[in-house]
């Protein structure tokens, strides 16, 4: 064999090794990343209601309005409250109770009105939720993943998740809580992912209800872990183990 042929053989061997190494690393990288099946931005919800049933005579806010703690939301006219005030069972000095016995419902926290369940002119029963407020500075990602049992075993508390917004911006978050349901041998996982960027950039696209695509990063057990798992799966399918 001439030196030229030896050199070509050496180059060929090196090329094969480089391609094999690159393919192994790429295979393992794909194995440690899982795309979400669905996701959206959510917020801690605050229910607004009344202990006294009555007619909602005024609605000072609508869905989508921004409110501060203490802002006036609704006025409820309640005969029961009027009776309790007249008998002294309830103090008329309460700032939420009007001179005619009506109840002024106020916001308990800063946020955005997510839903108005009982509007002006409707009756609100005692304990009824009149509206819901998405509290400010509480945004998080609510995500769903479908994982194999092996991949589920590689999910760690505090795992990194890439959150992709509709405008293609990507934010980074970490898994803070999750629940799982097994369906047909696969793990259907619901995850809460917290991200400082969601809280810091609250507004615009970054608000409750915005859809997200997400990529979950699984624990990396080394560059050969994916190959080992693939070989193990193959051996199980052909009955060698």
**Residue 181 pLDDT more than 70?**
yes
Stated as kind and residue range, the H or E segment containing 26 is: helix 3-31
- The predicted structure's pLDDT at residue 23: 46
Helix, strand, coil: what percent of the chain each, to 5?
Answer: 25, 40, 35
Higher pLDDT, 241 or 136: 136
**Residue 236 pLDDT more than 50?**
no
Dump pLDDT digits (tens) for 118-160: 999 999 999 889 999 999 899 999 999 999 888 898 998 899 9
Average pLDDT over residues 76-105: 81
Tokens for 28?
């393992």
Interatomic CA distance for residues 193 and 190, integer angstroms: 10
**Residue 161 pLDDT more than 60?**
yes
Percent of the chain surpassing pLDDT 90? 54
- The predicted structure's pLDDT at residue 29: 46
Average pLDDT over residues 96-113: 88
- The predicted structure's pLDDT at residue 70: 92
Cβ atoms 127, 118 nearer than 8 A:
no
- CA quadruple 78, 83, 87, 90: dihedral, nearest 10: -10
Tokens for 106?
């106020």
Inter-CA distances, 194 with 42, 143, 180, 182, 216, Å? 10, 11, 18, 24, 13
The confidence band for 201, taking pLDDT boundaries of 50, 70 and 90, is confident
The per-residue pLDDT of the chain, averaged, comes to 82
- The predicted structure's pLDDT at residue 182: 93
């Amino acid at each position: 064999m001439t030196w030229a042929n030896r050199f070509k053989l050496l180059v060929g061997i090196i090329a094969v090794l480089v391609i094999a190494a690159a393919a192994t690393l790429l295979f393992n990288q794909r194995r440690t990343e899982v795309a979400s099946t669905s996701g959206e931005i959510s917020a801690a919800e605050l229910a607004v209601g009344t202990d006294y049933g009555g007619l909602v005579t005024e609605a000072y806010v609508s869905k989508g309005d921004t409110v501060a703690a203490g802002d006036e939301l609704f006025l409820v006219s309640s005969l029961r409250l009027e009776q309790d005030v007249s008998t002294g069972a309830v103090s008329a000095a309460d700032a939420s109770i009007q001179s005619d016995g009506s109840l002024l419902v106020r916001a308990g926290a800063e946020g955005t009105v997510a839903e108005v369940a009982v509007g002006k002119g409707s009756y609100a029963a005692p304990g009824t939720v009149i509206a819901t407020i998405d509290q400010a500075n509480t945004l998080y990602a609510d995500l769903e993943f479908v994982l194999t049992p092996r991949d589920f075993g590689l999910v760690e508390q505090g795992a990194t998740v890439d959150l992709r917004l509709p405008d293609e911006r990507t934010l980074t978050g970490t898994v803070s809580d999750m629940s799982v349901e097994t369906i047909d041998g696969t793990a259907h996982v619901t995850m809460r992912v917290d991200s400082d960027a969601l809280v810091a950039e609250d507004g615009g696209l970054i608000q409750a209800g915005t859809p997200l695509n997400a990529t979950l990063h699984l624990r990396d057990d080394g560059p050969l872990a994916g190959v080992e798992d693939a070989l193990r799966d193959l051996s199980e399918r052909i009955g060698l183990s």
